[in-house]
Amino acid sequence: MEALSFKLQNLKYCLAFRNEALLKEIEEKCAFSTPPKVEKVLGSLLFPCPSDKRPYIYGCMVLSADGKMAFLDNPAGHLISAGNRIDKEGALTDYWILNVCRAYADAVILGAGTLKVPRKWTAKIADPELVEARRTILNKQEDYPYPLIATLDGTDLPLEHEIFSSYPSVGIITSPWGAEWLKERLGRDCTLISSDGEFKEKKARVKIFTRGEGKVPATSEIMKLLRQVGIEYLLVEAPSYIWHLIEEKLLDEFFLTYSCVYVGGEYGLGRTRPFTTSDHPHSVLLTLGYHQGFIYTRQKLIY
C-alpha cells in the first residue's frame, strides 16, 4: 500500500465533547499511551486491557447522514466518505481515523462482500507515523493488523481473490461446515487453528478459526479462540459482522462517522435483522468531533 501524507494541518477534527467520567475509567485500565500525533488530532485515545475470555472489540465505519452505508450504483463503502465533495479534508480525517483504529489493532475483520467490490481492500496502514507508533508506543510486532475474513459458510468467498496471495497469512472465521468446505476448495495450504502454538508455528497461507455446529458458528467461542492465540485488540470493518457482534453483545466500542451526504436506497446497517422495542442495545458517547461535512463519534456499547 502506497503511503499517504497525513499532515497535521490537513486533519480537520474539532472536539465538541469528551465523556470524561467514562474515559477516565477506560484510561485507568490501559497498558499503553496515546501516540503524540493521535493526541494532537483526537486527544487521548486509550483502550482498557482485554479480558482473558476474548479480545477488546471495536468497529469502525462511516454512514451517510440518512444512515446508509453505500450507494446503490456503486456499493464501495468508502464512497460515502470520499464522495463528500464539499469537505475533502473531513473525508481525509475520516480515513485517517480508520488508520488509527488499525494502528491499535492486533487483527482486523473484513467481510466477504468487501472482496467483491472493485476497490482493493488492505489491512495495511497508510500513515508512516502511525506505523512507527504502532511498534514503539503500542507494542505491536507487525506493521499492520492480521487480516481476518468473516464468512458464515465460505460459499460467498471469491476463492481466487488476490488477498490470499497478498499477505504471508490470512485468517478466516467461519462455521465448522464452512471450514471443511473451504479446506476442500481453496487450493492453498490451509489449516484449522485450535491453539496459540498452532497459530504461531504453522506457516499455512490460510488459517481457519472455527467453533460451533454445522453451518452455525459459535461467535463467542471463536472470539475466545482469537484471544488464546494472542489477539488482544480486534478491529471490525465489516458492517454486517459489526451488527452481528452487537446482536451477540460482544462489540465494546464503535467508531462511527457520519458523512453529511444523503444516499437513500436499501443499504442500511442491520436492515434485515431489527431489534425490538423491548430488547435493543444502547450506546453512550465517549467523544464527539466534527468538521463542516462530517460528525465523528466514538461510542461505548451498553447491553
Q: Which residue has the higher pLDDT, 240 or 199?
A: 240
- For residue 199, tell me if it sits in a domain: yes
Q: What is this structure's pTM?
A: 0.96
State the average pLDDT over residues 227-239.
96
Burial class (CB in 10 A: 0-12, 13-18, 19+), 220: middle
Residue 167 has pLDDT above 90, yes or no: yes
What pLDDT, on the 0 to 100 scale, is given for residue 1?
44
User: 35 is in which domain, residue-wise?
Assistant: 8-271
59 contacts 252 by C-beta, under 8 angstroms? no
Query: Does residue 82 lie within any of the structural domains?
Result: yes
Q: Does residue 300 form part of some domain?
A: no
pLDDT given for residue 4 in this prediction: 59
Task: Indicate whether 3 belongs to any domain.
Answer: no
Let me know if residue 1 belongs to a domain.
Answer: no
| Residue 81 reports pLDDT greater than 60 | yes
Q: How much is the average pLDDT of 61-75?
A: 95
Split into its structural domains, the chain has a count of 1
Band of residue 203 on the pLDDT scale cut at 50, 70, 90: confident
pLDDT of residue 154 exceeding 60 = yes
Q: What is the CATH number of the domain that holds 158?
A: 3.40.430.10
Q: What is the pLDDT of residues 14-47, one digit of tens each?
A: 999 999 999 999 999 899 999 999 999 999 999 9
* Three-state SS at 3: coil
Residue 161 lies in a domain: yes
26 within domain boundaries: yes
Stretch 73-89: mean pLDDT, rounded? 94
> Which is nearest to 251 in space by CA: 228, 208, 283, 229?
283
For helices 128-136 and 88-104, the axis angle rounded to 10 degrees is 20
- The residue ranges of DSSP E strands in 246-281, in sequence order, are 253-259
287 in a structural domain: no
- Say if residues 259 and 65 touch (Cβ distance below 8 Å): yes
* Three-state DSSP class for residue 224: helix
